Structure 1
């Protein structure tokens, strides 16, 4: 169970972020969109997506996880998992 539920606005914001990096309309990014097959995403674009996610959501994506950014669904799941992992640390620092 997640402590950081996604609102429709949050999902759309994430979709827009990914679409900007891929330089495609956000409407082309669905939960099942496979970035490599549909948009020829290479490792540099994966790094760019990761960097933008880290900046926006204040998370740290381990290098081994960057290659898991293969679809919008995977991106959302990774951000969700890392946001949950960061929550206790953020609360203990206050």
Structure 2
């Protein structure tokens, strides 16, 4: 996983990943192209995309968000948002090997 200077997902890396999952050349995926209308993506392929994104970026995509994966721009927004959320519940002292 690569992030650019602003801490966001590398757009080229994301586009290549999406292209592999959708089995289309990356050049055919415009930022705001609707996956269903322009690339024939159905809900099963959206689910496959969500699964691959979760694995690649180490995030959990809520079931309610899977159907929002309708364009490259939407995917990038969602992944950026999920990556910006810090995990909760971990004790930083314990993670660093210190004592309480």
For this structure pair, what is the TM-score category when the shorter chain's length is used for normalisation?
A: 0.7 to 0.9
TM-score by length of 1: 0.84
Q: What is the rounded CA distance, in whole Å, between the counterparts of 2:43 and 2:63 in structure 1? A: 11
* Greater relative contact order (CA < 8 Å, ≥ 6 in sequence): 1
Give unmatched runs, 5+ long, in structure 1: none
Q: Runs of at least 4 residues of structure 1 off by over 2 A?
A: 3-6
1:84 counterpart = 2:84: yes
1:30 deviates by: 1.6
1:31 counterpart = 2:31: yes
Q: What is the rounded CA distance, in whole Å, between the counterparts of 1:28 and 1:34 in structure 2? A: 11
Give unmatched runs, 5+ long, in structure 2: 1-5, 96-100
TM-score by length of 2: 0.79
Q: What is the rounded CA distance, in whole Å, between the counterparts of 1:12 and 1:55 in structure 2? A: 18
1:39 deviates by: 1.0
- Superposition RMSD on alpha carbons, in Å? 1.6
Q: Say which structure is richer in helix.
A: 1
1:70 maps to what in 2? 70
1:89 deviates by: 1.4
Q: What is the rounded CA distance, in whole Å, between the counterparts of 1:33 and 1:56 in structure 2? A: 22
Matched length: 86
